[in-house]
Amino acid sequence: MVEMSREDFEGLVSDALDQIPPQLAAMMDNVAVFVEEEPDPAHPDLLGLYEGTPLTERGEWYAGVLPDRIIVYRGPTLRQCETREQAVAEVRTTVIHEVAHHFGFDDHELDELGWS
């Protein structure tokens, strides 16, 4: 397990978001990214979660709604990693995976692309 402060972990998430190509980042709409310590106890190994309506499913009805949420879970991510470098890579993969859900990719497609 890697030891890392919440502030440092949030920095990894921020760095991962900064690595999203600008043309894609500009298309992200009404989504907020959060770091939480632990997922729901029913899914203790979950590293990230997307909650919301993907861009591909939004229509005329999509107005005045709360932002979608991307959550990166600090506890399970750090427990899974043995080095800081592994944590950096895992956070990057998790952020890309959850952002891809925002763009409408499902888990099967992400598995095929190697982002699971």
Q: Encode pLDDT of 86-99 as tens digits.
A: 999 999 999 999 99
Whether this model's pTM surpasses 0.85: yes
Look at residue 106 and tell me whether its pLDDT is greater than 90. Answer: no
Give CA–CA dist 84/1, Å, rounded.
10
> 83 is written with which tokens?
């080095």
| CB neighbour list of residue 104: distance below 8 Å, 6 or more residues apart | 54, 55, 56, 57
| Helix ranges, the chain (H) | 6-18, 22-25, 74-80, 84-102, 107-113
Look at residue 115 and tell me whether its pLDDT is greater than 90. Answer: no
Cβ atoms 52, 32 nearer than 8 A = no
